[in-house]
A and B are shown apart, each in its own frame.
Chain A
Amino acid sequence: MKFSNHISTGILLAAAFFIYSCKKDYGNLNSPTIEQFLANANASELNNLVSGTESGMRNNMAYYLDDIGVIGREGYRFSNAEPRYTKDLLGAVEATLNNSTFYITTPWAARYRVVKNCNTLIQAATNSTLITAAEKSGYIGFARTIKAYQLLLNINLTYKNGIRVDVANADQLGAVVTYDAGLADIASILDSADAGLATAVVTFPLAGFTGFSDAAGLAKVNRALAARVAAYRAQWAEVLTDLNGSFFDLTKDFHLGVNHVFATGSGDKLNPMFIPQNQNGEVRVAHASFATDIKTGDDRINKATLRTSTVSLDGLSSNRDVWVYTTSTAPIPIIRNEELILLYAEAKIQTNAFADAVTALDAIRQNHGLPVYSGALIQDALITELLYERRYSLYYEGHRWLDMRRYNKLAELPKDRTGDDVWESFPLPISE
């Protein structure tokens, strides 16, 4: 017994020493942690956050555009694998929008993930002692602009169910605010970003901001977004002021603006909205009313091309493919001149400056092969005309459903099957 006790004590001591000396904390082997960015980030780390933000904005955009496109009856998303596109989104029979399903949970989470990144960028830039004050303002101005844009996309979906604006502290999230308060908050985030950009120097690389990648350019983008928010708030004078600070130009290319861009590089993304023409199974096709409602000669008919065969699913069918995003690296617009022209027209109609409005509408019409506007110069008729132009100019860019909702015209959207519904808003995700 004694002998063994000696040995066992010896082994245990040796072993205890061995174990003690080999304690291990491997750290995160796969990626940096959020804390590393907050410590004292240098310019290159902050630039990584900028690019991550711009990259992350593209995540799950297809769900957002399909949500708005399908409920707004711009088209259908047929998927043999996913019945809920033609069930829940269209309100088939007893189906309703659910708070635990991908169509709201996925895009909602993707947008807030970018908001998280923007907040991280703001905090990291604030904490950094390695950049100038002007550079700091540049990072923060960019981060706030993008954050406001991301919040706007989410409130577009949940509408009167509201959003959270104050989400900087994951342990103490701010309350869910109403639609009106949410839009007001978004407008004020844009304003504070705009103010900061005035004194900023932008040293970081951007991808989809060609022509707008300096502080002045970012401010123009910021004002363009502010104009959209003001229109949603029916603050028409504000729309016109914001447009003045933006890149709005009646004479310039309609596609002038900023985009989500796509590429085949490592860690990059392809445009998820691109589906080649005449595919079967997984398709995005136009609603029948797209072709029946369009005016003769309107070249925007090419945004939904005729298929070689009709596709059908779940009692729905179509013979036109949505053909807005025509390659796998085609950009998705964030905001562009054509929308700004239409915002200008809308604000002018709403402020009864009909002549200015018609000038803008005609710029759109003539560019798309239509004759000048010859209808009545009254608000109702002009709004109907405006909504037509918005419908076809901004087809499948995430507008139609919101526009019909803004003008209380959801009831006018066609229902294709008995028992279908046109929803007004998505529920807040269950996790909220």
Chain B
Amino acid sequence: MAALLCILLCPAWLAAQDKTISGKIITSNLIPLAGVNIVVSKTNRGAISDANGNFTLQAPASAKLVITQTGYKTQAITAAVVQDGVAIKMEEDFAELDEVIVTGLATNVKRRNLANAVGTISNKELTSVAPAQTFDAALNGKISGANINANSGAPGGGISIKLRGVTSVYGNTQPLYVVDGVFVDNSATSGGLNAITSAASGGAPTSSQDNPSSRIADIRTEDIDNIEILKGASAAAIYGSKASAGVIVITTKKGRQGKTAINVSQSIGQIAVRKLLGVRKFTADKAASLSRDPAAGAILKQQFIDAESKGKIYDYEKELYGNKGFTRNTGISLSGGGEKTNFYFSAAQKDEGGIVKNTGYRNSSLRLNLDHRINDDIKIGISSNYINSSTDRGFSGNDNAGVSLGIALSSTPGFAQLHPDAMGNYPANQFGSSNPLQTIALMKNNEAVNRFITGLNVEANLQKSNSSLTRFVARGGIDFYNLATTLLFPGELQFQAVSKGTIIQGNTNNLSTNYIFSLANIFTPTGNLSFTSSTGITRETGNYNNLLNVATQKISGQSNVDQAGALNATQFRSRYQNDGIFVQEEAMVHNAISLTGGIRFDRSSNNGDVNKYYAYPKAGIAVNLTSLGFGKNGFFDNLKVRAAYGQATNVPAYGSKFTSMVVSNIDGNPGSLAGIQRGDATIKPERQSELEAGIDLSVLKGRLSFEFTAYNKKIKDFLMLASPPTSSGFSSQWVNAGDLRNRGIELGMNAKPISNKNFSWTTSLNFWLNRSLVTRYIITPVPQGSFGYVLGSFQIEQGKSATQIVGLNGAGVGVLGNAEPTFQMNTYNEFTFNNKLSLSFLLHWKKGGDNVNLTYLQNDFGQTSADFDNVTNKAGMPDGIYRISQVGSNARIFVEDASYLRLREIGLYYTFDKLSKNIFIKTIRVGASLNNYLTVTKYKSYDPEVSNFGTGFSSGVDVDPYPATKRATLHLSIDF
């Protein structure tokens, strides 16, 4: 550490005579441009242009001023040239070639020289069309090359993001999230719902079917300045052990020098269910047919007749899911700064209801980002964020006890009487083990989070000369959260007859830390050649502790776990430490040919051998042909060919090297019972290697640009929770089971067909597809990740797609579908009239990709599906009965095409500026937006985006989810 302190305290000083420089920045239309960054080259000193485009700073006359602004081409001007009154004209950068992309931990490169296809999402695309409830949902449909899927419509998020296909089966499939240099935890912790639903057998209080939210949902979208998406190892390798599934690099807003800008925003809106399935229309005879026993049938018939005569036939689906949730989102932000210190502060709260009563989401957030320049050579940045969120997620999904809303609904006909009597007592549901109206009214399933995320960033110039600049960059932070989960099922509930009331309280503390120390040297021997060498060390640690108390036989009205007759506690802890060392060399020739090579060494406490460093190389090349002079004055404005290769590690899950003995007591005697999972003491990390290549080109002065990328991503030694013969005593066993690969293409087009003072149109169009193949598999294929062959299941098999769905096909077991979409497309369009009125929308098309739809089967089985009595099958029997008759012989009808075309977001906004000088208000923006309002699909359940098993490999299994929602919102935003 002493060496590090020395670096901070003994920077190299630049000694030169400064002079005051002031200038004005304008656009090509001669409009003053505010917020432009002017930096004295090779220093941290800079200025920002004010509302009139003016700026002032101190610099030596010989210094270079680098002038940058997102959306404009970067310029470098000698300070001496800048004089008062001389305007500097910025040229629009339609193709965003000058966008700076972070390529290393301490280095970055402009898009025009980038060897990878890196996706970016601006704040505008995230929040300015039709904002989603949570950050993860806001990414949906916006990332080329990603397969994004919402687990359910439950409040509080829960999204699976797979970049460039499946990167793992039982290892991590989700990208790493980095917020201002802090590796942010995105785990999903179950609140213990399985203790109620028994969705997974075995009696554990938690299962993968408990549908918790994922923790990345806590981040407030409005604070984000931009997002970079590194899709695979060739780009992400530098982030180390946690980056094999890609990295989502989030940069939050920073303050800028100048007058303090204040923004106040308020939205209000409404959430409604996207689609209902409808209910079966009963008649007296159909009611009677619910029972095979004639006497019971007669009673049912009478019940129906009584209910009908009193007008008491209900649509319980509508009652359960038809609530209109009110949403509000209030935010205030301040940003500004002086010569040395800039700040961004925001305070915000959103509170949203759900489509099921007593469900909803509230998130309160405070953020303070500070940047301080100690001197010309040392800069520190601190970002800190406190989040408090509370989610009431309701009760949905798979369940073997007949208690979740959807399962209860599936067997309840409209003539059942479920409403409370005058005393407020709910009747028992004679058609199921629970009365869903009672369940909603009395239960609670809450996740409450308190979270601190703090990042620190130190950059120092250690040495400067005309040809060389050496920098030290230290970046890191902590992410701590406490998650308190509360499940409350009072004894009055119909299904609590045995347990007499259940309280389940979970308490989770998670601390993640990470840091990077790196040194980078930029050596420019001649104007046409530069080398960037960087080296450094990284470390990430995690410490997770989850304590879950399940109390039954509870005292009426009480919610503390000690207020009960029986109490069961479970605890799960995990810790890891990953260490890495990296070296990277980048060379730039003629500002046109960029070469990168690097190697990383990683080890992890989760590996079998905790001391062993595994080596992961990377390399890249990008040749900008137009910069080399090819096609000068010709058709191409920019033409680049590129290729990149990289390897990354994916470490085993904590505990995969142990064979545990779990606690299993009897009558007060403590017992140890062999765990069902067999560890592998020699377990190795997965190794991913990715090769991508592409061509980027832009024409018509950058108004039209194209990006083509193809990739081949291989995963070697992928980890499987194999199913050994269970006669061994083990049901699962960690093994490095085989290799798989993903190949795919990504095509992108950006255009600005019209751009003038009165009207502009920006459009982008993306197309992507991925195909996976298991190239080696050493264990016997067995159904995984769903409910077996009878209902359709995933199965890893050599020579087959990793996401194939197999099951009974009438003549044995065969392939029934594939969860992988055939292709996906999106288009984002923005129309602006007179710089005041804007209309933008995002359209997303997923073609192909199958789900295992069991929601419909449940309704058939309960004889309540809307089309139960239609006769369209070849057997000539009612469709509901026909579909049930397929169970056990043919799973084909449960595997369903989940294609959709969705208008994800559409927003219309009007901006009032040039307001009277007498008021403080600069601009007022008003708008209206619709989120997920229109979906075209043939899929038969609530929504094609669904995952009973949460975020992981086996998404797309549909078992009575919390139905998907849509949102309509009105917006008001005022800048002071």
Chain A residues at the B interface, C-beta cutoff of 8 Å? 1, 3-4, 7-8, 10-12, 14-16, 18-19, 22-26, 28-37, 45, 47-56, 58-60, 63, 79-84, 87-88, 92-96, 98, 100-102, 105-106, 108-109, 112-117, 119-120, 163-164, 167, 170, 173, 205-208, 261, 263-270, 274-276, 279-283, 309-312, 314-319, 328, 429-432
Contacts and interface: CB of A to CB of B under 8 A. Distances in A.
Contact of A280 (B299, B428, B659, B673): B428
Contact of B517 (A15, A48, A83): A15
A59 B655 contact: no
Given A15-B537, A117-B674, A108 B726 contact: yes
A80 B432 contact: yes
Contacts of A3: 12, 462-463, 470
B809 to A, nearest CB: 12
A315 B292 contact: yes
Interface in B639-686: 655, 658-676, 678-679
Given A14-B3, A51-B671, A167-B728, A83 B857 contact: yes
Interface in B424-479: 428-434, 462-463, 468, 470, 472
15 contacts: A18-B1, A36-B661, A49-B671, A52-B663, A52-B671, A80-B402, A80-B862, A84-B888, A87-B888, A100-B782, A167-B727, A264-B566, A279-B433, A309-B430, A430-B723
B520 to A, nearest CB: 9
A116 B498 contact: no
A80 B790 contact: no
Given A7-B462, A52-B672, A88-B790, A431 B725 contact: yes
Contacts of A113: 673-674, 676, 726, 729-731
Given A55-B665, A112-B729, 7 more contacts: A25-B610, A32-B661, A33-B658, A108-B726, A112-B728, A173-B725, A280-B429
Contact of A55 (B201, B581, B671, B679): B671
B870 interface: no
B203 A59 contact: yes
Contacts of B566: 264-265
What are the 8 closest A-B residue pairs judged by CB atoms, nearest first? Answer: A95-B888, A116-B729, A281-B433, A51-B671, A310-B296, A52-B671, A264-B566, A207-B667
A31 B678 CA distance: 14
B728 A170 contact: yes
A315 B535 CA distance: 71
Contacts of A93: 885, 888-889
Given A23-B610, A80-B407, A100-B788, A266 B296 contact: no
B573 A30 contact: yes
Contacts of A32: 660-661, 672
Given A25-B605, A100-B782, A310-B296, A164 B201 contact: no
Interface in B541-596: 552-553, 565-569, 571-577, 579, 581
- Name which of B398, B569, B723, B890 has the most chain A CB atoms within 10 A of its CB: B723
B709 to A, nearest CB: 35
A98 B668 contact: no
Contacts of B678: 170
Q: How large, as a class, is the contact surface on chain B?
A: 35 or more
B887 A84 contact: yes
B60 interface: no
A266 B569 contact: yes
A173 B728 contact: yes
B642 to A, nearest CB: 29
Contacts of B655: 28, 30
Nearest to A49: B672
B423 to A, nearest CB: 21
Contacts of B100: none
B108 interface: no
Given A47-B669, A432-B725, A98 B498 contact: no
A28 B581 contact: no
B672 A23 contact: no
A37 to B, nearest CB: 7
Contacts of A63: 201
B322 interface: no
Contacts of A35: 659
B579 A19 contact: yes
B731 A280 contact: no
B154 interface: no
Contacts of B575: 24, 26, 29
Given A101-B790, A113-B676, A170-B730, A33 B660 contact: yes
Given A19-B581, A170-B729, A264-B565, A8 B407 contact: no
B887 A207 contact: no
B279 to A, nearest CB: 15
B410 interface: yes
B858 interface: yes
A316 B292 CA distance: 6
Nearest to A309: B430
Given A96-B889, A317-B293, A431-B725, A281 B669 contact: no
B789 interface: yes
B661 A33 contact: yes
B727 A8 contact: no
Interface in B804-835: 808
B666 A120 contact: no
Interface string B902-927: 00000000000000000000000000
